[in-house]
Amino acid sequence: MKLSVTVCARSQEQEEKWAQDLILCLQGKVDFEISLASLNSKKSNLKPILILDSKMDQIEKFLKKIDRRQHALFLVVDDRSSYPELLVKNQVDDLIFFPFRALEVMSKFRFLEKIQMWNEVSELNSSFSEIIQRLTDDFSLAERLQKANLPKKFESIQGFKIASRYLAGVQPGGNYFDLIQSPEGDYLSWLFTDSSTYGLSAAVLSTLMRVGMKVSGQKMENSREIAEAVGLIYDDLALTLKENDHLSLFYGVFSRHDQRFRFLNLGNSRLFYFSLGQGVKKLESQGGVLSRLSGFTPFPVGEIQFSPLDRMILCSRGVIEGVGGEVKLLKIIDSVKNSNGDELPEGVDTLNEIVYQIKSHLSDQVADKMADQGDLPKSDCTVILIDVDSSVVQLGTKLQKPAAT
């Protein structure tokens, strides 16, 4: 594979110097070609790999004109440089240290292969979305395909028992849920999205592949970092949002250091929290759906300090609609009891009851306007139930209410 590189620096003289250094560094080790940005008047002539001078005038303005889906962006720094704000804001892909070293430069350039892979995945998902829209009469196929985005069985995670249920809906769109544990196991990230269109669902997957690599392994020790992670996701997704696209997004991180779960719930998904002796409570969303017009501004982050045998239930908009509203759903969750009358029933019993009530609500409407939809709900229905194991959480903790919006 031949590597095509454009050097973008504060002056043509600087570009020529770096280009010469790269030639000396890479010659005989990899097949490549190098051009200078100062000699290319059109952005379309820029090569897939861009070497950027951190001291360029108006570099942020320059970066906004670059199609991130077509280029790998590397910022040149030296050992004395502070951590670049451009990398923090996800405006460049990585750093390259000067003076250049062959092994480091070649390893960084492999990032282009990942970008090309993300583009292929995005294109395949878009094509897939068009096919699904043409096959709206085959809803069983749509259900099987959407379920592929939801883990059938979550890996064993110390301290938690996790279960879920999914029903495909009639309307276009899709739900996505995943758990990501940090390499050391001390942070656990929970992510759920509810997209209004198939195209947006495909774009979300592509964005999560790109941005998820940057945030999944990071420590999230305060509310500001949670909001910044959601901001990174929105900034990357904003490039592809269409006028009618709406995204509900839930992102939360549990820290084993202080047993706290910090979360941001934006849009139409609903989070319910059960604590022994307190019953079920609905935790309010912190903001509305994300769209091209809404933009993203930091919202107050909710916080829960887990106690033994606590339970969280996250429901998509389709579940709320499917059972007949939030009040009805709250009653359903609260009504399920163990056979011995214990306050906390088995998670599978609660999930099965919610699915049963969704299908019962549909049956009541068969003779009405939904008769042509059979036994399928209007929107995708996803419910995730997370139980806190008593073995890893200290006693005596209590629920912290989210800040008011």
CATH number at residue 162: 3.60.40.10
Q: Is pLDDT of 176 > 60?
A: yes
- CA nearest neighbour of 193 among 233, 148, 236, 134: 233
On whether both 226 and 336 belong to a single domain, the answer is: yes
On whether both 194 and 312 belong to a single domain, the answer is: yes
Q: Model-level pTM?
A: 0.61
| pLDDT computed for residue 2 by the predictor | 83
Domain that holds residue 366: 118-388
Give the residue with greater pLDDT, 248 vs 277: 248
- Rounded to an integer, what distance in angstroms lies between the CA atom of residue 272 and that of residue 281? 6
The CA-based dihedral angle spanning residues 234, 261, 153, 135, taken in that order and rounded to the nearest 10 degrees: -30
Q: Is pLDDT of 399 > 50?
A: no
* Inter-axis angle of helices 111-134 and 198-215, nearest 10: 160
Last residue of a domain, one of 109, 130, 152: 109
On whether both 148 and 76 belong to a single domain, the answer is: no
Q: Are the C-beta atoms of residues 182 and 219 closer than 8 Å to each other? A: yes
Q: Is pLDDT of 403 > 50?
A: no
The highest-confidence range among 41-55, 332-346, 372-386, by mean pLDDT, is 41-55
Q: Is pLDDT of 337 > 70?
A: no
- Rounded to an integer, what distance in angstroms lies between the CA atom of residue 10 and that of residue 98? 15
On whether both 24 and 165 belong to a single domain, the answer is: no
On whether both 102 and 165 belong to a single domain, the answer is: no
On whether both 83 and 173 belong to a single domain, the answer is: no
**Two tokens at 282?**
């609905």
On whether both 39 and 138 belong to a single domain, the answer is: no
Give the residue with greater pLDDT, 375 vs 34: 34
- Please report whether residue 405 resides in a domain: no
How do residues 93-144 score in pLDDT, each as one tens digit? Answer: 889 999 999 888 888 877 777 777 776 776 776 666 666 556 554 555 445 5
Q: Is pLDDT of 19 > 90?
A: yes
On whether both 349 and 324 belong to a single domain, the answer is: yes
The 3-state DSSP class for residue 99 equals coil
Give the angle 54-58-63 at the CA atoms, nearest 5°: 75
On whether both 349 and 215 belong to a single domain, the answer is: yes
Who contacts 286 (Cβ-Cβ below 8 Å, separation ≥6)? 264, 265, 266, 299, 300, 301, 302, 402, 403, 405
The highest-confidence range among 90-94, 109-113, 204-208, by mean pLDDT, is 90-94
- Rounded to an integer, what distance in angstroms lies between the CA atom of residue 284 and that of residue 404? 8
